[in-house]
Amino acid sequence: MMMRFLCVFVIGILPVLGLSQSTYSFNNSELPIEERVQDLVDRLTVEEKVSLLISTAKAIPRLDIEKYYHGNEALHGVVKGGRFTVFPQAIALSATWNPDLIYKVSTAISDEARAKWNFYNQGKDQKNVYSDMLTFWSPTINMARDPRWGRTPETYGEDPYLTSQIGLSFVKGLQGNDDKYLKVVSTPKHFVANNQEENRFGYNAKISERALREYYFPAYKTLIQEGNAQSIMSAYNAINGVPSTANNWLLNTVLRDEWGFKGYVVSDCGAPTYIEKSHHFVTDKEQAGKAALEAGLDLECGDDIYAKHLLPAYKAGLVSIESIDKAVSRVLRARFKLGVFDPETNNPFTKISPEVIGSKEHQDLALETSRQSIVLLKNERNILPLKSNAITKLAVVGFNANQVVFGDYSGLPVISPISPLQGIIDKVGDKVEVNYVKWKTAARNLNPIEAENLRNDFNDEPGLFAEYFDDKFLEGTPKTRVDKEVNFDPVNQPPDPYTSYRHKSIRWTGHITPNASGAYKIGVNSDDGIRLWLNNELVVDEWHNRGATTDQVPIYMEAGKKYAIKLEYFDNGGDAICQLLWEVPGSTDDLYKEDREAAKNSDYVIAVMGINKTIEKEGKDRTSLQLPEDQVNYLKEMYAINKNMIVVLVAGSSLAINWMDANIPAIVDAWYPGEAGGTAIADVLFGDYNPAGRLPFTFYKSITDLPPMDDYEITNGRTYMYFKGDVLYPFGYGLSYTKFEYSGMKIEKENDVLMLSATIKNIGEFDGDEVVQLYYKIKESTVIRPLKKLIGFKRVSLTKGESKTIQFKVSKKDLRFWNEHNKEWTFEKGKYTFMIGASSKDIRIQKTEKL
């Protein structure tokens, strides 16, 4: 009897000791995943199930389930969790027109993510801090239908086929190629037609089903059916009156029933709240939870509707346990596929070493990707490539000359990133004198307060006393040092142990001592919160989350006197910057004197212009396509002095650079080129790399060429497919230092498949790449059809004098349109013209076939 009691006692305490977990079926890696998922779901209470439907899912200790954060970003490198390789921004990836290269890029990104997860898995505390290294809300495959859209740089451009092919490679590279395990989860976003930032939480996109099927849907369908994407993010907006996050037709009928999607749907952050708050689709938050769950939303990014109101909705009988079980099963299935419930020895991705993060191989890949993305827009007089042995002096000037601009959703680089200026200096060495002049503008004539004008109370050395806290509350024991200047900009600076945490707060104290008497302006450029005291008076109090903002305060100061200053700053994650600036009396009298001298005394002027996240970003659409006026005026002034001018554009979307195109002899579009961008730019300018990037969208001449922003019907003159006017640069456009000849186009038919071929020959003086593009159009149709439509492309490398035959396979399925009357895809008999060329406008050869 005593022995029986002891056996029962021991068995009873095993769960408490955590020893019985291995006996749970869901921990048996030999069982099918569906059986394991069901076993775990059956063991959960309804409260636990609901807790798993929130992106920051809490731990369930009794089942030894750790907390799990869904939601890092990886548009062009891992964003959160440390320092990683920073590749060119997404739009630049698309400008390579090279899916094979993009597969390598996303493979490197997910290798680094897994490597960081593996590293943190060695210590429970570290892993709890960074538990979001396996689920990524990338890529962004919304269509860049209008260049004013602030998130255009995150996309792959205006064409659904190009977006599908680049996105497909990206998803495949992220998720890995193991038959059983996922390397990471990829989440294409935002489903669907999330294409404007004004009223982004509440707008209703009115779109025909044909436009959805032909333009807005294809990339998602491809990434699900061919890429096996394991997650999809729903959008803030409504489609034809129904919020995307509560849209049964989108999330169940199309996504799951038609396309066979087996993964889970996560909301854009806070989107379930807007079902009731902004769209007024329901009357309360419990009803919002019901609408979202029944429509097929599985996971909430946020802590409102599912976190607080789904359980009450269940208890009130509004939602069923079956609906909850279905959602939690979908979410858990992805975690099982990641292998988080399995022994590490089973999973091949647990063997990826942290040594890959920022490795030489990945740095080289970032450089090659940047090179392949750069588009040569103009090269009059063959001014490019430059020959350094024929140059004595070179002026490098402009808004972005000494900036490293990564674009939105960017991480911190492992290495010191290379600016265009640095790339040029590294390229020419001591053979050429480089005259660099800092950018100044009447629009904001604020410059950094230099060390000679700053003192601290601890050692009276130049600079301010700095206290770095590892939280955003100025609490705990800080690391301290003297900063020569206040220029906290971790993205654009070398790795710094004082800035290793994403969430940080900093306090600088000391004195300002001006060299001259007069009326000054003290400015602080910051992203997130600041407080500024001058002479012990609080003059700026902006202690809250916000985007990049410059605050200015006027103050009269006398030469040689000390003026006390205290500046406090916190970073809430994401973008991080805090810079202490001033405007000195008389500094606006002649802004460009130094620039004019540099231009006058140089053989060539390289002006690095463009825009940045202050103009285009999430939450902010552009109101103009023009380059900022101060930059255009500056270029005109410099060009009047030196006609040998090359403009390098650093931007994430198209610009109406009409004056520049008419006057400047050479223009290069470098996008937001990543950590090695400066080196890539210099390689192109000096001929060590022959540019072959191609535009993934149209450059329009004027904003008046565009339909209203809220017009989602693509047939109303949008994109190269339906716009009939003159453009500045067409979709698919890009020049080379060499020339290519197209010939020998053939079409062979076999049942419903066409095999098209053409021969491409390099007839120029340089080795180079050509992006061969295939378009089609139908002569007559019962509906409005595209002027031409991309259905194939290949990037091919050709040495001087070399030729290659390129083949394309086209099915009749590729030539169909969506018949709204019959609700089906329809192929029309008729005369189809197939066009092969170097851009959507530069068609070199074509043939017409009756099909």
The enclosing domain of 763 has a CATH number of: 2.60.40.10
Which pLDDT belongs to residue 575? 72
Q: What angle do CA 423, 604, 738 make, to 5 degrees?
A: 75
Which pLDDT belongs to residue 654? 98
Q: Cβ–Cβ contacts within 10 Å for residue 201, how many?
A: 15
Q: Cβ–Cβ contacts within 10 Å for residue 851, how many?
A: 15
Q: Quick one: 712 and 841 in the same domain?
A: no
C-alpha span between 133 and 185 (Å, rounded) = 10
Domain end marker among 675, 695, 722: 722
* Residues ≥6 apart with Cβ < 8 Å to 810: 753, 754, 755, 756, 774, 776, 791, 792, 834
Q: Quick one: 285 and 142 in the same domain?
A: yes
Q: Quick one: 131 and 267 in the same domain?
A: yes
- The strand pairing partners of 848, in sequence order, are 833
CATH (domain of 690): 3.40.50.1700
Structural domain boundaries enclosing 575: 447-583
Domain end marker among 351, 378, 396: 351
Is 245 within the bounds of a domain? yes
Which pLDDT belongs to residue 7? 44
Which pLDDT belongs to residue 457? 86
pLDDT along the chain (851 residues), means of 10: 43 42 86 98 98 95 93 95 95 99 99 92 55 92 97 98 99 98 98 94 97 99 99 98 98 98 98 97 98 98 96 97 99 97 93 96 99 99 96 97 93 94 97 94 79 89 92 91 90 70 84 94 92 96 88 94 96 83 82 94 98 88 93 96 98 98 99 98 99 99 96 97 98 99 97 96 98 98 97 99 98 97 96 99 98 94
How does strand 242-243 pair with strand 740-750?
unpaired
Which pLDDT belongs to residue 124? 53
Q: Quick one: 532 and 655 in the same domain?
A: no
Is 17 within the bounds of a domain? no
Q: Quick one: 369 and 397 in the same domain?
A: yes
CATH (domain of 95): 3.20.20.300
CATH (domain of 475): 2.60.120.380
- The strand pairing partners of 135, in sequence order, are 185
How does strand 537-542 pair with strand 242-243?
unpaired
In degrees and rounded to multiples of 5, residue 335 shows phi and psi of -65, -35
Q: How far is CA 660 from CA 596, 609, 685, in A?
A: 18, 11, 18
Intra-chain end-to-end CA distance of the chain, in Å = 88
Is 656 within the bounds of a domain? yes
Which pLDDT belongs to residue 46? 98
Domain end marker among 351, 371, 391: 351
C-alpha span between 723 and 300 (Å, rounded) = 39
Letter for the amino acid at 826?
A: T
Which pLDDT belongs to residue 1? 44
Question: CA torsion, points 484, 488, 490, 495, in degrees to nearest 10?
Answer: 30
Find out whether 62 and 16 touch, Cβ atoms under 8 Å.
Answer: no
Phi-psi region of 618 (alpha: psi -120 to 50; beta: other; left: phi over 0): beta
Residue 593's Cβ-count burial label (10 Å; 0-12, 13-18, 19+) is: exposed
Which pLDDT belongs to residue 461? 83
Please tell me whether the peptide bond between 385 and the residue prior to it is cis, using omega within 30 degrees of 0. yes
Is 494 within the bounds of a domain? yes
Q: Quick one: 764 and 827 in the same domain?
A: yes
C-alpha span between 727 and 790 (Å, rounded) = 18
Is 30 within the bounds of a domain? no
Letter for the amino acid at 501?
A: Y
Write the DSSP assignment of 281-320 as a string of letters: -SSSHHHHHHHHHHHT--BBSSSSIIIIIHHHHHHTTSS-
Total domain count, the chain: 4
Is 474 within the bounds of a domain? yes
C-alpha span between 457 and 480 (Å, rounded) = 13
* Residues ≥6 apart with Cβ < 8 Å to 424: 394, 396, 434, 606, 678, 681, 682, 685
Residue 177's Cβ-count burial label (10 Å; 0-12, 13-18, 19+) is: exposed
Q: Is 844 helix (H, G, I), strand (E, B) or coil?
A: strand
Which pLDDT belongs to residue 498? 72
Which pLDDT belongs to residue 471? 87
C-alpha span between 615 and 150 (Å, rounded) = 8
* Element holding 38 (H helix, E strand): helix 33-43
Q: Quick one: 550 and 653 in the same domain?
A: no
Q: Quick one: 459 and 404 in the same domain?
A: no
Q: Quick one: 238 and 111 in the same domain?
A: yes
Is 711 within the bounds of a domain? yes
Q: What angle do CA 217, 221, 223 make, to 5 degrees?
A: 120
Active site residue ranges? 268, 616
Q: Is 21 helix (H, G, I), strand (E, B) or coil?
A: helix
Which pLDDT belongs to residue 128? 58
Q: Quick one: 568 and 597 in the same domain?
A: no
Q: Quick one: 127 and 239 in the same domain?
A: yes
* Element holding 11 (H helix, E strand): helix 2-17
Question: CA torsion, points 269, 275, 280, 286, in degrees to nearest 10?
Answer: -120
- The strand pairing partners of 790, in sequence order, are 775
Is 283 within the bounds of a domain? yes
| pTM, full prediction | 0.91
In degrees and rounded to multiples of 5, residue 682 shows phi and psi of -65, -40
Q: Quick one: 570 and 693 in the same domain?
A: no
